[in-house]
Structure formats: structure tokens, C-alpha cells
């Protein structure tokens, strides 16, 4: 009681009208940015933001399930319908209300806003430190990459590069933004390091050139303006750095410890300890996405797996299972435990069939064991927690070779392209192509086999004119409006400057 009296007296004496807040567990903004490390810890948000890329609701899921390389059918018992988001992506029946497309949009534009904000912080810095200039260049290149993805997926997009401008951004055309990206990359590429291994998980010269190469490769499709030579030049710029090469083993690029890969140009660095914060959406969880719940006993995984994504039968059939080394990425047929004993469910052996009954049919759903599963990334024995340790490969050197090869073929220079393709073919254990083999359809198929679930298929399908054609569980489309995704309804509510893409109604 004495204590209370003392407090009472204290209060009576000091009682006033001061309402300032005392902060304990966070930092007032004006007390930060005093050291180099503090700038880096703020700038690093761009890279930790990328951890969301592979989330199945995010960009990776959106650009993968909308192609023939992946589907998530409505299954018996544990349904995976999720309100139709997967079938709408796969069958191209998405609308501006599609939730995964919205999350994809938000991922990209949050990335852009982050870059703008970080660049603003750097612009305010009075502190100088050695890596300041290269860090600014990195952030600008990352912003260019976000914009590249944005125009690839959404066409005309809101554009701003100034964080201090609080007005709602105007929509710029794909052409204008293309020009910005091109210029931004060219202006900054020389400030970056040559080797991905020297700047692992961050922007480097090969990464910047790879973005350019991909932009030029798609230029004809996007604008009717072929830029094959520019694509070849960008690829050559990478090749001439001599910092990259094909790994002998295709799967070395996807191992649990794939950081030493000399082939990977840009990887999102996952780590079950450091890159696995409290955020559920920032975990690399291909194991949970695709594996049958019983498959944990095949790989010794200490977690639940969700029996969701598989590949389409027609895509699976493009593999020569006897010869193509890469087909080891697929789990098909009767499954076994790690001990070699049959993998049983209710006493029956789990058997992944390429055939899938239906994409969505409540009365006749896909079976729990249907669809071939994906195991290109190593599933680490004893994996605990929801995040794999493998780094997700965004771009790798094989794509440089095949991009250059494709551009050469499209220029009519198949002979020069041949060794580029055969280097990739050889590693896959396949016979060499001849010049006559290098048809666009064959290039398309080979790219498909090489880059399964690497986020390349959508661009390929559009560029090779396959996107709107009929395939498993999708009818032929009457026009090509789905080659650009709708601008999400929420984005247009928030920004009235945005016109919807053609062919979509809100």
C-alpha cells in the first residue's frame, strides 16, 4: 500500500499532459542508417522478399500451373480444389478476381516499391561505404527484373521509380517499360560482379544480361519487333565472362546443397534455418506440394506432404524415359520406401500413374495416386521443418545456350546453333541433333524437358504459339488474350489509372 501511496504522490506531482510514446521492441526510423551494415540490412529485404517467389500461391505457382507442365487436380479424399484457383489457371479460365494472380501482382509490385524505397534510403545517406555504388546498381537491376516479370505477365503496368512521389502511379505501355528496363540494365550492368558464385544469390552481370537476353528473345512475340541479334549478343556477353559452365550432372544444380553449381546464374537462397523466418509464405516446399502423404517414407522426410501438384500426361510423354537422364526427375509407377519395401497405403502399394481422370469433377475426381510427381530438386533425407535447403534456380547457363541457339535458329543459322543444343542434349544422355532436327517444335520440346518447373514454360508456350492451343483439360482458345494475365481487380480498385487488359471483364 505504501508503494501505491508513493505512486499516487508521484502522479500528482508529475501528472501533466505529455502523451509521447516510449518505444521498446522496435526502432524509431530516425535512429537507424548509421552504419554500412544497417544500410545492407535494409537493402537485403529485396532478396528476402524473393523467398516468396516459389510459393504455390505466388508467381511460381501461377506461371507453372497455367502451363502443361503442372496441374493440381481435384482429388479424392484430400481435395485440393481451393476454390477453383488451380483449375482456373490450368484451363485458362482465370478472371481479374483470381487470387493467385493477385498475389503474383502484389509480389512483383511490392518488390518494385521495396527497391524504390531502398534506393531512396541510399539517396538520403550521408554515409559512404565501398559497396554503396554496386549495391545501388544491384537494387536497380532487381527492380528491372521485377518490371520485366510485370510486363511479361501483365503487359501495361503502373510505373514509378520515385519513392517520394506519393501519387497513384500511371499505367505505362509494355513498350515504354521495356525501354526503361533495357536502359536501366545497360547502365548498371558494369557495376556488378562477373561471377554468380562471387555474389551468390544476388544480382550479377550474367543475371542482368540474362534478363536482357530474355527480353530480346520475346521481343518479336511481344512487339512484332525481332531482336534475335541483340539476344545473341546478350548471351555472348555472359559466355564471354567465362564464369559459368554446364555442370556434368544435370541434378547437381538442384541438390540440397546446390550453391557450388557453376551453372546457376541466379538462385533464390533458401535455408531451413536462416531463410525460414516466421513467414509461412517464404518457404521452399516443393516436397509438400507434390509428394503423396506416404512418400515421406520414400525420402525420410519428417513432415507432412500434401499430395497436390503433378505433371500432365502429355507433357510427361515428351520424355524418352529409357534414354533421357533428366526423366529421373519424375516419380512414376509403384513407389517404395527408403528401405526398398513397397510403399503401402491401406495395404495397397502407392502407384503414380501418368493418367489423371479429371481436372475437376466432384463425382469422378482424380485418384490420390494419379499424376506423375516431381523430384528434380533433391529431397533431403531427414528433412525437418517446412523449408528445403535447396536454392531455387531462377536462371542457369543451359538457358543461355538454348536462348542463343534458338535466336540463331530463328535467324536461320541452325548450323551455328547446333553445338549449343548438343551440349545440353549430351548431358541428358541423348543423341546429338542434326541441323534438320532443329525445328521450332523440337526446340520448344527440348526447352520443356530441360527447364521443367523452372518458370520458363509459360514464356515458351506463348513464344512458340502453343499457349492457346487445346491440351489436356483445356480447350482451344478463340483468341490469344490469355497470353497476358488480367490486372487483378483489387489493383484496379486501388489505382483507378489502370485499364484492364483486353478480353477480360471485371
Partner 1 sequence: MKKVMILWMLSILTFSFTALAQKNVNGIVTDPKGEPLAGVSIAEKGTSNGSISNADGKFTITVPQNAVLQFSCIGYITQEIAIGARASLSIIMEEDNKMLDEVIVIGYGTTTKKEITGSVSSLSSENFKMGNITDPIALLQGQIAGLNIIRPDGGDPNGEFQIQLRGVTTMRGGTSPLIVIDGIVGGDLSALSPNEIQTIDVLKDGSAAAIYGTRATNGVILVTTKRAIPETNKLEFSSYMAFQSVDKKPAMLTADEFREALTKYGMDNSADHGASTDWFDQVTQSPLTQNYELSSSGGSRTLNYRASIAWTKDEGLVKKSSKENLKTRINISQMLLNERLKLDYNATYSTAKSAYSDTYILRQAMFHNPTEPVYADENTPAQYGNYYYVGAMEYYNPVAMLEEYEDSGLRKLFTGSINASLSIVEGLKANMLVSLTESSDRYGHYYGRYYPIGIGNNGYAETYNNHGNYKSLETYLDYSKSFNDHKIQAIAGYSYSEQWAESYSDMNYSFDTDLFSFYNIGAGAAIKNGLASMSSSKSSSKLISFFGRVMYNYQEKYLLTTSLRREGSSRFGENHKWGLFPGISAGWRISKESFLEGVKWVNEIKLRAGFGVTGNQEIGNYQSLAILRKGSSNFYYNGSWLSTYEPGRNPNPELRWEKKQEFNIGFDASVLKNRLNVIFDFYNRRTTDLLYSYSVPVPPNLYGSTLANVGTIDNKGLEFTVSGTPYLSKDFKWDITGTVSHNTNKLVSFSDDIYAMDALNLGYFGDDLKIYTMRIEEGWSLGNFYGPKFLGFDGNGGASYEDLDGVEGITEADYQIIGNAYPDFLFSLQNTFTYKNFDFSFLLRGSVGNDVLNQTRVYYEGPGYLGTKNILKSSFDSDYTGGAYYSSRFVEDGSYLKLDNATIGYNLSLKSTVLPKIRLYLTGQNLLTFTGYKGIDPEISLSGLQPGIDWYDFYPRTKTFVVGAKLTF
What part of residues 20-39 is at the interface with partner 1 (CB under 8 A)?
A: 20-30, 32, 37-38
- Within 109-128, which residues bind partner 1 (CB under 8 A)? 109-110, 112-114, 116-117
How many Å apart are CA 238 and CA 206, to the nearest integer? Answer: 5
Report residue 170 as a C-alpha cell: 500511371
Q: Which of 169, 448, 455, 486 binds partner 1 (CB under 8 A)?
A: 169
Question: Which residues lie closer than 8 Å to 458 by C-beta, 6 or more apart?
Answer: 63, 64, 66, 67, 467
Give 98 or 458: the residue with its C-beta nearer to partner 1.
Answer: 98
Contact code string over 421-450 relative to partner 1, x by CB under 8 A: ------------------------------
Give 294 or 450: the residue with its C-beta nearer to partner 1.
Answer: 294
How many Å apart are CA 319 and CA 377, to the nearest integer? Answer: 18
Report residue 159 as a C-alpha cell: 510505373
Q: Which of 19, 436, 470, 476 binds partner 1 (CB under 8 A)?
A: 19
Question: Which residues lie closer than 8 Å to 260 by C-beta, 6 or more apart?
Answer: 197
How many Å apart are CA 354 and CA 133, to the nearest integer? Answer: 52
- Within 184-213, which residues bind partner 1 (CB under 8 A)? 199-202
| Residue 478 binding partner 1, by CB under 8 A | no
Give 143 or 326: the residue with its C-beta nearer to partner 1.
Answer: 143
Contact 42, 121 (CB under 8 A): yes
Partnered with residue 370 across adjacent β-strands are 353
Give 29 or 322: the residue with its C-beta nearer to partner 1.
Answer: 29
Which of these segments, 5-13, 237-245, 417-425, 476-484, binds partner 1 (CB under 8 A)? 5-13
Which of helix, strand or coil describes residue 324? coil
- Within 69-108, which residues bind partner 1 (CB under 8 A)? 76-83, 85, 97, 99, 106
Q: Which of 248, 322, 346, 478 binds partner 1 (CB under 8 A)?
A: 346
Contact 159, 184 (CB under 8 A): no
Report residue 67 as a C-alpha cell: 502451363
Q: Which of 123, 173, 339, 384 binds partner 1 (CB under 8 A)?
A: 384
How many Å apart are CA 385 and CA 270, to the nearest integer? Answer: 13
| Residue 297 binding partner 1, by CB under 8 A | yes
Could you tell me the smallest distance in angstroms from the CB atom of residue 309 to partner 1?
14
Question: Which residues lie closer than 8 Å to 432 by C-beta, 6 or more apart?
Answer: 418, 422, 425, 426
- Within 225-284, which residues bind partner 1 (CB under 8 A)? 269, 271-279, 282
Give 129 or 348: the residue with its C-beta nearer to partner 1.
Answer: 348
Question: Which residues lie closer than 8 Å to 466 by C-beta, 6 or more apart?
Answer: 444, 460
Could you tell me the smallest distance in angstroms from the CB atom of residue 44 to partner 1?
4
Total of chain residues touching partner 1, rule CB under 8 A: 99
Give 27 or 436: the residue with its C-beta nearer to partner 1.
Answer: 27
Is residue 268 classed exposed, middle or buried when 0-12, 13-18 and 19+ CB atoms within 10 A define those classes?
buried
Report residue 464 as a C-alpha cell: 512458340
Q: Which of 51, 101, 211, 215 binds partner 1 (CB under 8 A)?
A: 51
Could you tell me the smallest distance in angstroms from the CB atom of residue 175 to partner 1?
21
Question: Which residues lie closer than 8 Å to 283 by C-beta, 6 or more apart?
Answer: 51, 55, 270, 276, 386, 387
Give 257 or 494: the residue with its C-beta nearer to partner 1.
Answer: 494
Amino acid at each position: 500500500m505504501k508503494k501505491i501511496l508513493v505512486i499516487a504522490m508521484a502522479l500528482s506531482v508529475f501528472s501533466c499532459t505529455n502523451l509521447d510514446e516510449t518505444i521498446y521492441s522496435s526502432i524509431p526510423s530516425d535512429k537507424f542508417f548509421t552504419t554500412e551494415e544497417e544500410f545492407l540490412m535494409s537493402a537485403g529485404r529485396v532478396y528476402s522478399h524473393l523467398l516468396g517467389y516459389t510459393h504455390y500461391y505466388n508467381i511460381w505457382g501461377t506461371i507453372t500451373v497455367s502451363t502443361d507442365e503442372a496441374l493440381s487436380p481435384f482429388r479424392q479424399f484430400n481435395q485440393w480444389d481451393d476454390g477453383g484457383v488451380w483449375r482456373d489457371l490450368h484451363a485458362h479460365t482465370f478472371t481479374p478476381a483470381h487470387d493467385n494472380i493477385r498475389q503474383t501482382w502484389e509480389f512483383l509490385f511490392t518488390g518494385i516499391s521495396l527497391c524504390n524505397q531502398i534506393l531512396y534510403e541510399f539517396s538520403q545517406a550521408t554515409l559512404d561505404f565501398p559497396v554503396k555504388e554496386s549495391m545501388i546498381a544491384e537494387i536497380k537491376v532487381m527492380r528491372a527484373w521485377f518490371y520485366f516479370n510485370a510486363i511479361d505477365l501483365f503487359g501495361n503496368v503502373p510505373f514509378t521509380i520515385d519513392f517520394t512521389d506519393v501519387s497513384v502511379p500511371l499505367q505505362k505501355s509494355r513498350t515504354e517499360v521495356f525501354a526503361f528496363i533495357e536502359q536501366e540494365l545497360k547502365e548498371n550492368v558494369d557495376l556488378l560482379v562477373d561471377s554468380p558464385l562471387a555474389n551468390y544469390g544476388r544480382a550479377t552481370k550474367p543475371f542482368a544480361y540474362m534478363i536482357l537476353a530474355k527480353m530480346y528473345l520475346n521481343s518479336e512475340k511481344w512487339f512484332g519487333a525481332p531482336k534475335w541479334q541483340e539476344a545473341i549478343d546478350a548471351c555472348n556477353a555472359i559466355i564471354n565472362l567465362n564464369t559459368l559452365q554446364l555442370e556434368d550432372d544435370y541434378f547437381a544444380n538442384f541438390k540440397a546443397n546446390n550453391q557450388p553449381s557453376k551453372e546457376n546464374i541466379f538462385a533464390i537462397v533458401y535455408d531451413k534455418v536462416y531463410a525460414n523466418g516466421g513467414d509461412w509464405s517464404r518457404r521452399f516446399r516443393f516436397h509438400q506440394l507434390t509428394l503423396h502423404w506416404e512418400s515421406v517414407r520414400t525420402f525420410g522426410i519428417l513432415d507432412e506432404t500434401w499430395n497436390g501438384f503433378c505433371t500432365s500426361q502429355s507433357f510427361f510423354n515428351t520424355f524418352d524415359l529409357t534414354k533421357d537422364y533428366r526423366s529421373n526427375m519424375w516419380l512414376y509407377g509403384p513407389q517404395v520406401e527408403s528401405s526398398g519395401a513397397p510403399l503401402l497405403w491401406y495395404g495397397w502399394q502407392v502407384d503414380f500413374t501418368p493418367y489423371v481422370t479429371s481436372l475437376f469433377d466432384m463425382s469422378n475426381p482424380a485418384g490420390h495416386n494419379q499424376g506423375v510427381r516431381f523430384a528434380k530438386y533433391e529431397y533431403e533425407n531427414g528433412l525437418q521443418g517446412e523449408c528445403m535447403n535447396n536454392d531455387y534456380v531462377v536462371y542457369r547457363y543451359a538457358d543461355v545456350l538454348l536462348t542463343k541457339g534458338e535466336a540463331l535458329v530463328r535467324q536461320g543459322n541452325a548450323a551455328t546453333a547446333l553445338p549449343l543444343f548438343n551440349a545440353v542434349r549430351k548431358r541428358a544422355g541423348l543423341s546429338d541433333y542434326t541441323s534438320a532436327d532443329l525445328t521450332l517444335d523440337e526446340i520448344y520440346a527440348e526447352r520443356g524437358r530441360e527447364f521443367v518447373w523452372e518458370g520458363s514454360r509459360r514464356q515458351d508456350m506463348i513464344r512458340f504459339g502453343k499457349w492457346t492451343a487445346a491440351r489436356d483439360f483445356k480447350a482451344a482458345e478463340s483468341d490469344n488474350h490469355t497470353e497476358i494475365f488480367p490486372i487483378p481487380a483489387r489493383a484496379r480498385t486501388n489505382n483507378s489509372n489502370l485499364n484492364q487488359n483486353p478480353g477480360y471483364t471485371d
